[in-house]
Structure 1
Amino acid sequence: MPTMIPAAGRAMAVFEVFAREQRELSNSEMARQLSLPETSTSDLLHTLHSLGYLMRTTRTRRFYPTGRLAELTRQIAENDPLTTAAQEAVDQLVERTNESAFFGLLEPTAVKVVAMQQSRQPLRYIIDVGSRAALHASALGKGLLALLPEDEARAALEKSQRRQVTPHTIVDVDRLMADIAKGRQRGWHEAREEGAEGVDGLAVTGWLAGQPAGISLAGPADRMRKHRDAYLEALREVRNGLLGEG
Structure 2
Amino acid sequence: MSSDVKSAVRVLQIFQLFAELKMPASLATVSQRLDMPKSSCQALLRTLEAHGYLANRDETKDYYPTRKLFEEMRVIVEQDPLLKDLMPLLQALSDETGETVFLARRQGVLVHYMEVVQGRQALRFAGLAGDRRPLYIGAAGQSLLGGMPKAERVALVNQLEFERYSPNTIVSAAALLKQIDEGLKKGWFMSVGGFQLEVSSIGNFVWLNDSLYAIVIAAPTQRVERNQKSISRHIVDLCARVTQR
TM over 0.5: yes
Q: How many residues align?
A: 183
Kept in 2, the 8 Å contact 1:143–1:205? The answer is: yes
User: 1: distance between equivalents of 2:174 and 2:112?
Assistant: 24
| Match of residue 47 from structure 2 | none
Shift of 1:97: 0.1
Shift of 1:112: 1.1
Gaps of 5+ in 2: 8-50, 52-68
| Match of residue 175 from structure 1 | 175
User: 2: distance between equivalents of 1:162 and 1:86?
Assistant: 32
User: 2: distance between equivalents of 1:77 and 1:118?
Assistant: 17
| Match of residue 155 from structure 1 | 155
Secondary structure of 1:167 counterpart = coil
Q: Describe how 1:117-128 pairs up with structure 2 within 5 A.
A: 117-128=117-128
| Match of residue 215 from structure 2 | 215
| Match of residue 190 from structure 1 | 190
Secondary structure of 2:120 counterpart = coil
| Match of residue 79 from structure 1 | 79
Q: Which is further off, 216-225 or 79-88?
A: 79-88
Distance 1:120 1:172, change over 3 A: same
User: 1: distance between equivalents of 2:166 and 2:186?
Assistant: 25
Shift of 1:21: 8.1
TM-score between the two structures when normalised by the length of structure 2: 0.67
Secondary structure of 2:122 counterpart = coil
| Match of residue 54 from structure 1 | none
Residues 129-184 of structure 1, C-alpha deviations (whole Å, 9 max, x = no match): 01112210110100110111223212323344422010011110011101101101
| Match of residue 40 from structure 1 | none
Letter aligned with residue 95 of structure 1: D
Distance 1:117 1:226, change over 3 A: same
Distance 1:235 1:158, change over 3 A: same
Shift of 1:76: 4.3
Moved over 4 A (4+): 19-23, 73-78
Kept in 2, the 8 Å contact 1:100–1:116? The answer is: yes
Secondary structure of 1:214 counterpart = strand
Shift of 1:196: 1.2
| Match of residue 88 from structure 1 | 88
Q: Describe how 1:94-105 pairs up with structure 2 within 5 A.
A: 94-105=94-105
Residues 10-40 of structure 1, C-alpha deviations (whole Å, 9 max, x = no match): xxxxxxxxx99878xxxxxxxxxxxxxxxxx
| Match of residue 133 from structure 1 | 133
Gaps of 5+ in 1: 1-18, 24-66
Secondary structure of 1:136 counterpart = coil
Residues 177-211 of structure 1, C-alpha deviations (whole Å, 9 max, x = no match): 01101101110000011121221100011211101
Secondary structure of 1:243 counterpart = helix
Kept in 2, the 8 Å contact 1:86–1:115? The answer is: no
Residues 109-131 of structure 1, C-alpha deviations (whole Å, 9 max, x = no match): 11111111111111111111011
User: 2: distance between equivalents of 1:168 and 1:20?
Assistant: 33
Secondary structure of 1:112 counterpart = strand
Q: Which has the larger radius of gyration?
A: 1
Give the CA RMSD over aligned residues. 2.7
User: 2: distance between equivalents of 1:184 and 1:145?
Assistant: 10
Secondary structure of 2:158 counterpart = helix
Q: Describe how 1:223-242 pairs up with structure 2 within 5 A.
A: 223-242=223-242
Kept in 1, the 8 Å contact 2:188–2:203? The answer is: yes
Kept in 1, the 8 Å contact 2:169–2:193? The answer is: yes
User: 2: distance between equivalents of 1:180 and 1:244?
Assistant: 24
Shift of 1:242: 1.1
